[in-house]
Every structure is written in structure tokens, then in C-alpha cells.
Structure 1
Amino acid sequence: MLRRKVFPTILGAASVLALGLPLALAQEGPPGITTQTVFKPFDPAAPACSPPPGLAKVLAFAQDNEREFMQGVDQGLAKAAKDRGLEYRRALANNDAAKGVEQVQLFLASKIGGLVAAPVDPASMSRSLQELIWSGAYVGTIVPPPATSLLNAPQYETGKVLAEAAAAYIKDKLGGKANVVILSHDSMEFLAPRFAAMRDVMKTLPDVKIVADISPSPVNKEGGFATMSTILQAHPDVDVVLGADTVVLGALAALEAAGKARPDQFLGGIDGEPEAVAAIKKGDGPYKASISLASPVFAYAMGQHAADWIEGKSIPQAMDILPVALTADFLAQYQADVADPASVYKDPKKRDLYLKMYGNICYDTRDQYVNFPWSSEAK
């Protein structure tokens, strides 16, 4: 039976002791693979190895915030845990990096068998994730290392797919001219290539002007609203807005509040968040495209890999989330897929639309965990 727990704020070592749990000892372990490495395709027939001893059959999620993309991760992990008979726990950091680290330390102390992490601040959480890996647990991360199994998207390609859709719209519907806003997230070095791709594509259009290129703070809907409201004071006529769905949705709200939203605008985001999908389905508004990174689908796969790890099976060292452009023709299939990620995972043809897996690792070879910013685009 699935038992789902949401951890409250954690006060560190004192609270761990108060809960009657032993303090985790930070014993030094292997550094993992620290140099850029190209992994072979995942071999599902690779030999199994030993299951990790002394760990609980628990899958946990260290969640950075409640944006819809991460809610999809939570849903996919919970479904995978239920299907594999694992207890599921979730700890929400609410964008508090220190709180996120403390929550991971509590998971370590309780000897969980698997963790998926979306760190608020990758650098501050890195050591705690290593300690979990050294304990023998599965550690899956969404983009930054270290991890036994690291998830990333081909970031440049993801940004390029969105920017090319916008460029085609500018040529076909706007006469080749546009004022463009890029709402970036360059402070997260692992995501920076997607915004480099957007700039590269826009530079190929001689009559396109990037009037603002800025990272909202925080990177969420509220941050997008505040940033776009400021931009509109200096540049009231904006034709194109590109970024992650969560900030572009905030920008849309700012355009509407200022009376500057137009049906002929092109607003496009990345993540395939439900609110963005709903805006695209309307068909008569500014929101024209979202690049799907299908979080329930990849999260379900990560949950399955965690369960496999706990059973001693070999799992991928790395996994690509493949960018899929959501169009009117594809929306129905996409919505069905994210509502039932188990069916996608079981169907290789469907799964290959969203995921590509690389390398092999298991408990016995855990010293080969990924400890560099892996990307399939790196050569």
C-alpha cells in the first residue's frame, strides 16, 4: 500500500535526534566520474547485481518548489512507488536551499533506499547527495550532479526547438519583424544552453530586436509577472516572449493586466505545464507553443529505476528528456500520456518519444556515479 508523507520544516541534527533517528555519519566515499564522459546506450539486459543492504523500501522526493512542472514530478514518482510497492515520501523546500539540505539529511538518517532530488541550490546539496550515494541508496537528480542516475534534457536543442517555432511564426505572421523578450535562467548553468539557442536563432532574423534578456527573480509565475511589468514600462510593444512556462505565464498575466496582450503575439515556453497547455488549447490567445519535458513521464521512469536499484538491478546512469513541441495535433496524445505515465513506460514506441537512456550502473558499481554536469550534447 502506498503511504505518502509530506515532511514539515526540519530543524537539522537536533530534530533528527528528537525523532529517534541516528545521525548520519559523513564518511568519505569515492568521488564518482568527475570528467566529461560519453555513455553508451543503456543495456536493459545488463546483469543484475547485489541489492543495497540495510536500506528501507522507500522512495523520497526532495522537491524545490510547487511549480506545476514539479507537481508533475511528484505525481509520476508517487504512481511509480505505488506500482512497485514502495513507501513514498515528499519533502518540500519552498525555494529554501538550507531547508532542502536538512530534509535530505533526514532522509539519509532514516536509511531510505531511493531519492529523487530537484535542488534549490545544487552546490549546497551536493555533499548530502554524495552521502546518500555512499550509503548505497539510489539518487536520481533533475539536471545537476551528483547522481547514480542523472536526468537532463538536451538543453540547447530544447531552446532551439522553441526558438525555431517562434522564428517561423515571426516570418509567417509578423512580416519578419518582432520585439522579443527572453526570460532566461542563466544563473542555473545547466539550463543556460537553452537560452543561448534562443539568442542564436533570433540573431538569424535581421528585423528582430531582443528588447529584454533578463532572468526573473524568483523564477516562477510571480517573478515573470513582476519582470514583464517592468519591461513594459520601457518597451510597451512586445511581440514575442520566450522562457520557461512558469515565467512566461506570469508575463502573459502582466501583458493582460497592462492591456498589452494581443492574439497575434507569440508567447512560448518550456516544460509543458498544464496552464500553458490550456492556454494553447484556447487557440485564440497569445500563448502559441510549449516544449514538453513531460515531467510525470520521466518521473515515473525514475521511480521505476529506483525500485529496480533497490532490487539489485542495473539502471541507466543518465537519461535524456526529449523535447516535444506541443501542437494542436499532438495535445490530445500528450495529455493522455502524462495522465497515464505507466502505459508510456511499458510501451517502447511511446517511451522513445520522451526518453532516451544511457550507460549502466547498479549497487555493485555505484562508485561510477555521475559527478559532472552530464549532457548528451557534450562531445
Structure 2
Amino acid sequence: MTERNKDKELVSEYNGIKLTRRGLLSAGAAATVAAALARPSISWGQSNEINSSVKVPNTEMRFAASLGWTVWESGRHIVNGYRDAVEKLGGELTIADANYDVKKQADQILAFVESRPTAIFITPADAAAISPAVQKAVASGVPVFIGDSYVPGTTVTSTAMSNNFGLGSYPAQYIVDKLGGKGKVALVSLPSNESWDQRTLGAKSVFTRYPDIEIVSETAFALGGSTTPRQVVDQILTANPELDAIWCAWDGAASEGTLAIRASGRDVMITGIDGGRQSFEYIAAGSPFKITMAQSFYEMAYMNAFYAFEVANGRDAPRFVITPSYAVTQESLAGMEQMPDTYDQPGEAAKLGWQRVL
């Protein structure tokens, strides 16, 4: 997106809370990881180079990570999850950032296969598009671990991700309940990734149960295009003067949409999916942004690395792990002096009094 490099730029203020742009872009297994691993103290600022390596004494294990993106809070948490796990358990980790470039990510995966690492970690920006490269990686015999999305047409060693259908249905039900089962709703979807598209299907599965809920608009947002989420929401508001709510497939649209709603002076609620400090600031400020589904990006990555070590040591890994998601509202954040940044590390959400909903 054209706004990617403006994440730190102050663009508005709401009830004394500074709001900034953000772009993009989720029990038993969690308990296993939480019990087995203690997170080391590594901050993003200490290791923020991509295409670099983290090395510790056990260099017999070499891991390679091809990440579809590393920007925004989700990307930062994913990178930290992989790095912290390898730092704790031992080995060498090489990270490559594809920055939403499908061809680049496919090339990265094939290059990693040639280097014969202990395991390959992948977070896809477009899972279907990189499926042929992932199939070749699986066929090579190198264990492959996927985070955040499943890759169609492949049988990888293990996948850790959120319940995307549920991520979409939960805020849709929230909208229905707040509207009393009657109102006009718009959708901003993210169909470029098959897993992310499941969120829209989840939302529609809820809205279609209520005959007095009318979906008046659906916009499929294209990553990397010239149109920003703010412009999309501006257009939706202009075309629908009686709109009650906007459901968004990710927090980037909800965050920028909040600014559009505020500028319009309209009483329209908006919902998001992802979680993170900036989204929490919008919600805590009492803005039109009412709820986000906070995913456990850090834990997705940590799960991948943890089970890669298990497999390397001759043990089994689960084929599929659904990592925790939390419904975060203004009530969830009440009384917090600082917005939580470590909620997606095993055990941290419980300290906040949060319970997983998916």
C-alpha cells in the first residue's frame, strides 16, 4: 500500500489519544509451550534487520524463515516469536522478508530448499500463489512449518494459525447485537489470501441469519494497490448515508476507517481483526472502532519453531494448531495505563484477565 511508510506519522487525535496510521497488515498446545519455554529478553530494537541471522551455540540446527511481510505490529510479533524461540532453544535462524511480493517469496523458499536447513518457516501473504513452491519444499524432505495461514494443496509438517472463520463471525455477531438485529452494514474484505477470505465468509454466515440486517456494500481491498483503506471507507460513507456499521477484515481498514467516520461526523461503528497497541489505543479512546479480534502472532511463530525442534529431535508435531484469539473492547482495556504489547505470548493474556474466545 502507498501508506506503508507512514506508520509513525501522526494523522489525528481522538479524546487526547494520538492516532497514527497503520496498515496491515490470530489451549493444550499453548499450555505445552508455556510450560516448556521461558521467553528470553529480546526486544525488536535489538534485532530489527531482515535477511540477518541469530546465532547461539547449537549451530547444528539451521532454520530459514520466508515471511510474507514483516511490517506493522503483526510482522514485528511474528519475527520476535521466531527469533525468541530459536534464541532459547538453540541454532541459527535466517529471515527473509518478501514484503508482499509473491514471486520473491516463492524464490526465497526454493533458495532455502537448496541450502538444506533443519526446517523452513513460512508466513504467506498469498498462500495459494506460493503453493507450488511450498509443494517443492515438502517434496524435498525438508520439514515445513506454516504460520498465520494454511497453504492449499500441500501437506506441510505443521501449521499454526487463528480460526479465521471465527475471527470474522465474532465481530459480525457483535455488530448484530449492538444494532438489535436491524440495520445497514458494509464490508471491507481482504480476499488476496484464502485464509483471510475466510473471515468474510464467517461474517456473512452471521449477517445472513438476520433478515433485518442489510449488507449494502462489500469492497474487496487489494493489497499493493493505489487506493488506501481510508479512501475506501470514505467512499462507503459517501455512498451510504444511512449506514450503521462497517465490518473490516483487518485492523488497517478499521483504524483508517475510524478517521474517516470521525471526519464525517457520522454515528457509525467499525470493527477490526488483528490486535496490537495501536488498535487498542483507538478502542480505549472511545472512538468508532469498537472491537478487534486480537490474534496471537507471536505464539504462531513460537509454535512453529518449538515443533520444528521437536521434529528435529525425533518427536511428533501436530498437523494443525489453532492459536488463541481474544475479543478486545473498551471494557477489556479499562484501567490500563499502557496498551498491552505482550498479550500474545503464552500466559500473558491471562495476566490481563483476558480469556480466549476462539
Structure 1 CA distance, aligned partners of 2:226 and 2:288? 16
Alignment of 1:54-203 (within 5 A): 57-65=61-69, 66-141=71-146, 142-145=148-151, 146=154, 147-171=156-180, 177-203=182-208
**Rounded Cα–Cα distance in structure 1 between residues aligned with 2:76 and 2:357:** 18
Say which SS state the counterpart of residue 122 (structure 1) adopts.
coil
Answer whether contact 2:161 2:300 (CA < 8 A) is retained: no
2:345 maps to: 341
1:302-354 CA-partner distances (Å, limit 9, x unpaired) = 2211222222221111111343211345446x965835725559x9xx99948
Comparing 96-105 with 270-279, greater Cα deviation is found at 270-279
Distance 2:241 2:282 in 1: 22
TM-score using structure 2 length: 0.71
Among candidates 239, 249, 256, match of residue 244 of structure 2: 239
Answer with 1 or 2: which has the greater Rg: 1
**8 Å Cα contact 1:268-1:289 kept in structure 2:** yes
Shift of 1:221: 11
Equivalent residue in structure 1 for 2:275, among 272, 277, 281: 272
What are the superposed Cα offsets for residues 208-251 of structure 1, whole Å, 9 maximum, x if unpaired? 33221111112799632232233233224533111211222232
Identify unmatched segments of 5+ residues in structure 2.
1-39, 53-58
**8 A Cα contact 1:182 1:212, kept in partner:** yes
Deviation track 1:81-100 (CA, whole Å, cap 9, x = no partner) reads 11112322221111111111
| Contact 2:168–2:202 (CA under 8 A) maintained in structure 1 | yes
Aligned residues: 297
Cα shift readout 1:53-87 (whole Å, capped 9, x = no counterpart)? xx952333222222432322112111111111232
CA distance in 2, matches of 1:336, 1:278: 10
For residues 332 and 238 of structure 2, the distance between their equivalents in structure 1, rounded to whole angstroms, comes to: 37
Tell me which of the two structures has the higher relative contact order, counting C-alpha pairs closer than 8 angstroms and 6 or more residues apart: 1
2:305 is matched by which residue type in structure 1?
G
CA RMSD of aligned residues (A): 3.4
Q: Find the residue that maps to 2:61 and give its secondary structure.
A: strand
| Contact 1:220 1:250 (C-alpha < 8 Å) held by counterparts | no
Which amino acid in the other structure matches residue 246 of structure 1? G
In 2, the alpha carbon distance for the partners of 1:133 and 1:203 equals 39
Taking a change above 3 Å as real, the CA distance of residues 248 and 129 of structure 1, as seen in their structure-2 partners, is: same
2:256 match: 250
Q: Which amino acid aligns with 1:266?
A: M
Question: Residues 126 and 192 of structure 2 are in contact (CA less than 8 Å); yes or no, is this contact kept in structure 1?
Answer: no
CA contact (8 A) 2:277 2:340 kept: no
Q: Give distance in 2, aligned partners of 1:239 and 1:221.
A: 27
Q: Is the Cα–Cα contact under 8 Å of residues 176 and 213 in structure 2 kept in the other structure?
A: no
